[in-house]
Each structure stands twice: as structure tokens, then as C-alpha cells.
Amino acid sequence: MLTREQILAMDSGPELDKLVAEKVMGWTSIAKLRWKDPKGVTNFVPDYSTDISAAWEVVEKMSRGKTDCSFVLQFHFERYYAKFGEVPIDNKRWNSYLTAPEAICKAALLSTLEV
């Protein structure tokens, strides 16, 4: 299992996208570049960590079916901060990122993997 530090050290791009697809979105790898989503549809992994519309799918997945889930995305001094958690959301362990998609993806992974 990846550590918190390993997740935070990852660059945006295909490797982070694959990790989000598997651990957060429930996709399964079936070939080097082909993945199957939870509905059984085979496709390429979306650019979760670089495309805001794909990253927003992560936000929707994280909040689906939960009544006490909170998501916060802040922009402060040219950096993005994101966090998922139970309401009220704690103020511990915020990390900063250059882009909103990267912030969303890493916050989702940290929350899902509980690291």
C-alpha cells in the first residue's frame, strides 16, 4: 500500500490517474492501456489529475450516497488546497498543489486510503 508521502510526491499524469481510477473510482486494469469501469465498460482512464471536468467526477464519486461527507477546495496564494472528510471537516494535514485537479485527486486518495 502506498504511504501518504508517496501519494503526495506523485506528479500529475497517467500514473496518478490510474491510481485514482483503481482506488477511488473502482476501475479494473484489463490491459496495459485499457481499463474497465464499475459498469463493465472498457475505456481509457480519464485524465483525472489534469482535467478539471474529470476531477469533478472524482468529487461526485466521493460524495455519492453519503450524507455526512464534506469537500473543501480553496485557492490561497496561488496554491490549491483540497480535503474530503466528515462534517465538520478537520483543519489538520492540509497540503497545497499547483492545480485544482491534482488537489482533488490527492485529497480523494488520502481520504479513500485513510493515510
Cell of 7: 501519494
Bridge partners for 112 per DSSP: none
pTM: 0.88
pLDDT at 94: 74
pLDDT at 67: 63
Fold assignment, 4-113: Bacillus phage protein (3.30.2120)
Domain borders along the chain are: 4-113
pLDDT at 91: 61
> pLDDT averaged over consecutive 10-residue blocks of the chain (115 residues)?
93 97 96 88 96 97 79 90 74 80 95 87
Tell me which DSSP letter residue 95 carries: -
pLDDT at 85: 79
- Complete edge-to-edge strand list for the sheet that includes strand 69-76: 69-76, 79-86, 96-97
User: Helices marked H in the chain — which ranges?
Assistant: 4-9, 14-23, 52-63, 100-113
